[in-house]
């Protein structure tokens, strides 16, 4: 069966998307540029999001005391061991990567793009940390390079965003996405499934709400209780009624989510992969991303389901 996205996979996958727009293999190189967040430095709050521990996704070469060029070079050396011919996207990943004066952003982004192997940038940020000036600069870059902005949305419920100390609203996400979409910049969103006090119907509603936005890509993350976070403290104190899915339960939840997701949205990933030694729960016996995807695709076939199955109904 051929689906809306013109291939036989049952969801609009990121790998196929990359093959369409790039002529060679593309690898993201994570960069820690030393930014902070407004809910960390006291501007809006302190302590950051209650689930956040950046060490769970930072590669060893990502250290803010290193220059951006050095981090790119070390990242290339790391990936070149597996893949010999490829181009790279500089992924400004840690914390809020537009949370600085425009002059600082220009210096950092242009340094990354000056590397001969880098063909674009991906900028992870918060919807309350962009403005017209910053987006217009990214628009200028998008005329020559691949440029994507990933907004940490996490939930479409403002009650949840308050609970997890995000210190922004979903309305701010909507505003930032619309402003970015007007300027030919790719847009990605991040969502966490299983946040405290959210029901399954709340999570399905997330799919419906983001499906109404001009979003290009989506990253899903299962809620993980990471050691040395505020959420770990709440978990151990049983402050909330946490929903921690086992892998099979989460797969069925993801399929329910996909069925209600706009088929135009490219799904970049379904799970977080944190170091096992940092995960308190759920541990999933070290299930890798490719193993999860295989199980998901098998379950999609069993259920005769696909992304957007219920979107037009």
How far apart CA 257 and CA 17 sit, in angstroms, is 20
In the chain, what's the furthest Cα-to-Cα distance?
A: 53
How far apart CA 145 and CA 269 sit, in angstroms, is 23
How far apart CA 39 and CA 196 sit, in angstroms, is 19
Residues with Cβ within 8 Å of residue 179, at least 6 apart in sequence:
130, 132, 135
Number of C-beta neighbours around residue 84 at 10 A:
8
pLDDT in tens, 197-219: 999 999 999 999 999 999 999 99
Q: Are 27 and 88 in contact (CB under 8 A)?
A: yes
Rounded percentage of the chain residues whose pLDDT exceeds 70: 98
Which candidate, 185, 31, 184, places its Cα nearest to that of 113? 31
Taken as a whole, the chain contains a residue count of 313
Residue 121: predicted pLDDT = 98
Residue 58 pLDDT greater than 90, yes or no: no
- When pLDDT is cut at 50, 70 and 90, the band that residue 61 belongs to is low
In a domain, 310, yes or no: no
How far apart CA 266 and CA 295 sit, in angstroms, is 19
In a domain, 313, yes or no: no
* Structure token digits, residue 106: 């220009």
Q: Are 111 and 68 in contact (CB under 8 A)?
A: yes
In a domain, 1, yes or no: no
In a domain, 50, yes or no: yes
Q: What is the mean pLDDT of residues 213-236?
A: 95
Q: Say how many domains are in the chain.
A: 1
Residue 81: predicted pLDDT = 84
Residue 69: predicted pLDDT = 96
In a domain, 153, yes or no: yes
Rounded percentage of the chain residues whose pLDDT exceeds 90: 84
Q: Are 274 and 57 in contact (CB under 8 A)?
A: yes
Residue 163 pLDDT greater than 70, yes or no: yes
In a domain, 8, yes or no: no
CATH number of domain containing 149: 3.20.20.70
What crossing angle do the helices spanning 247-259 and 200-210 adopt, rounded to 10°? 40
Give the up-direction half-sphere exposure of residue 30: CA atoms within 13 A in the CB hemisphere.
17
Q: pTM to 2 decimals?
A: 0.94
| DSSP codes, 209-271 | HHTTS---EEEEEE--EETTSHHHHHHHTT-S------HHHHHHHHHHHHHTS-TTSEEEES-
Residue 62 pLDDT greater than 80, yes or no: no
How confident is the prediction for the chain on average, in pLDDT?
A: 94
Strand partners of residue 267: 13, 218
Residue 96 pLDDT greater than 90, yes or no: yes
Q: What is the mean pLDDT of residues 105-117?
A: 97
pLDDT in tens, 132-162: 999 999 999 999 999 999 999 999 999 999 9
How far apart CA 240 and CA 136 sit, in angstroms, is 42
Residue 123: predicted pLDDT = 98
Residue 66 pLDDT greater than 70, yes or no: yes
Q: Are 193 and 203 in contact (CB under 8 A)?
A: yes
pLDDT in tens, 243-272: 899 999 999 999 999 999 999 999 999 999
- When pLDDT is cut at 50, 70 and 90, the band that residue 56 belongs to is low
In a domain, 206, yes or no: yes
Which candidate, 220, 223, 225, places its Cα nearest to that of 210? 220
* Structure token digits, residue 251: 């797969």
Residue 312: predicted pLDDT = 86
Cis check for the bond before 282: say yes or no (omega within 30 of 0). Answer: yes
Residue 128 pLDDT greater than 70, yes or no: yes
Residue 86: predicted pLDDT = 85
Phi, psi of 122 (to 5 degrees): -120, 125
* Structure token digits, residue 213: 């936005």
Residue 122: predicted pLDDT = 98
Range of the domain at 70: 14-302
Residue 60 pLDDT greater than 70, yes or no: no
* Structure token digits, residue 273: 């992969």
In a domain, 312, yes or no: no
Give the up-direction half-sphere exposure of residue 259: CA atoms within 13 A in the CB hemisphere.
17
- Which of 136-140, 172-176, 234-238 has the lowest average pLDDT? 234-238
């Amino acid at each position: 069966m051929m689906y809306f996205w013109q291939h036989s996979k049952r969801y609009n996958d990121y790998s196929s998307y990359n093959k369409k727009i790039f002529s060679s293999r593309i690898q993201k190189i994570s960069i820690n540029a030393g930014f902070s967040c407004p809910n960390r430095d006291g501007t809006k709050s302190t302590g950051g999001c209650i689930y956040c521990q950046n060490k769970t996704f930072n590669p060893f070469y990502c250290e803010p005391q290193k220059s951006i060029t050095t981090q790119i070079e070390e990242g290339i050396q790391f990936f070149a061991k597996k893949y010999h011919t490829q181009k790279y996207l500089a992924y400004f990943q840690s914390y809020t990567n537009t949370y600085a004066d425009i002059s600082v952003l220009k210096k950092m982004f242009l340094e990354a793009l000056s590397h001969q192997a880098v063909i674009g940038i991906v900028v992870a940020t918060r919807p309350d940390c962009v403005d017209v000036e910053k987006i217009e600069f990214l628009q200028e870059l998008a005329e020559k390079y691949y440029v994507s902005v990933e907004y940490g949305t996490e939930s479409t419920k403002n009650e949840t965003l308050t609970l997890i100390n995000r210190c922004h609203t979903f309305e701010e996400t909507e505003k930032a996405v619309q402003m970015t979409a007007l300027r030919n910049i790719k847009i990605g969103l991040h969502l966490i499934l299983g946040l405290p006090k959210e029901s399954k119907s709340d999570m399905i509603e997330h799919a419906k709400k983001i499906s109404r936005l001009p979003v290009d890509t989506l990253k899903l993350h299962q809620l993980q209780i990471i050691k040395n976070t505020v959420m770990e403290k709440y978990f151990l104190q049983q402050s909330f009624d946490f929903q921690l899915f086992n892998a099979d339960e989460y797969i069925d939840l993801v399929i329910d989510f996909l069925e209600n997701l706009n088929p135009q949205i490219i799904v970049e990933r379904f799970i977080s992969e944190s170091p096992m030694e940092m995960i308190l729960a759920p541990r999933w016996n070290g299930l890798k991303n490719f193993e999860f995807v295989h199980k998901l695709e098998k379950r999609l076939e069993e259920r005769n389901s696909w992304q957007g199955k219920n979107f037009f109904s």
